[in-house]
Amino acid sequence: MINVENLGFFYERGKWLFRSVDFSLNKGETLALLGPNGRGKTTLLRCIARLISSQEGRIDAPQKIGFVPQLSTPPPGFSVLDIVLMGAAGGSGLFETPGKKELERAMEAMSLVGVDSLAKKDFSDLSGGQRQMVLIARALCYGRSALILDEPASALDLANQKKLLDLLGKLASDGTTIIMTTHAPNHAFDVADKSLMLFGGTDFVFGDTKKVVDAENLSRLFDTQIMCVEYEAGGKKEIAAIAV
């Protein structure tokens, strides 16, 4: 579904933000992109979404990828339906009025995410958690096969973080391939099949989340001592990362 080969990017010539990055994802897999600020997580996402071009490498990915940026504040006066329709209109001309097909896609995306009851509400009146779900609906309306999210849980409380992660799990089980950045290793444990850890330049680690997201790699990545603890919840063994 998504294949990245030898990807490299710099803003200043000779100072590679990341280089020689390789990874691949199958349909319905979720990738967590981990790393502290300044390591190129958002830039890597933007390259995969074709919002910017890399200096090196190759990306094979669906033509339409839904993208949820970290910060998105549309001007006031737009309803939830208006916001989601912006995704549906992504393949239309700039001044074309969304038709029946676009409206159906928007309503389907809102229903899937669980915000269809908010369709007529002003987007600016919504809570942070509601806004994030609406932006995911907009992204799905544009491209359902692959979804890219930049720090989707960063501004959410614990209850809304759980709702978000549950939604991402459902989308993945329905076949959507997902890439998300996060500063929270526990979110990677919760939903990510694979993880990519950016240490800077050509130094990165990619693989199955429960194999590569361990205490040693996390401690090196975030430059602080971290331990991983196993516990049982709901009859399943889970892992949590704790800074010590």
> Domains in the chain, please, with CATH?
2-209 (3.40.50.300)
Residue spans of alpha helices (H) in the chain: 41-48, 80-88, 100-113, 128-142, 158-173, 185-191, 209-212, 215-222
pLDDT at 154 over 90: no
pLDDT at 95 over 80: no
Residues present in the chain in total:
244
Q: In this structure, are residues 221 and 38 in contact, taking their beta carbons and an 8 Å threshold?
A: no
Looking at the DSSP bridge assignments, the partners of residue 204 are 198
Maximum C-alpha span of the chain: 55
Reference 216, options 191, 185, 192; nearest CA is 185
Residue 71: pLDDT band (50, 70, 90) is low
Reference 221, options 182, 193, 175; nearest CA is 182
Residue 97: pLDDT band (50, 70, 90) is low
Q: Percent of the chain, pLDDT > 90?
A: 62
Q: In this structure, are residues 1 and 177 in contact, taking their beta carbons and an 8 Å threshold?
A: yes
User: What's the pLDDT at 232?
Assistant: 87
How far are the Cα atoms of 6, 37, 71, 122, 123 from residue 74, in angstroms, in the given order?
A: 35, 25, 10, 11, 8
pLDDT at 204 over 80: yes
pLDDT at 79 over 70: yes
Residue 93: pLDDT band (50, 70, 90) is very low
Give the amino acid at 234: G
| Segment (H or E) for 21 | strand 15-25
Give the chain's mean pLDDT: 90
User: What's the pLDDT at 178?
Assistant: 97
User: What's the pLDDT at 38?
Assistant: 86
Q: In this structure, are residues 153 and 184 in contact, taking their beta carbons and an 8 Å threshold?
A: yes
Reference 19, options 38, 6, 37, 1; nearest CA is 6
| Segment (H or E) for 207 | strand 203-208
- Is 119 in a helix, a strand, or coil? coil
CB neighbour list of residue 64: distance below 8 Å, 6 or more residues apart: 90, 91, 142, 143, 145, 146
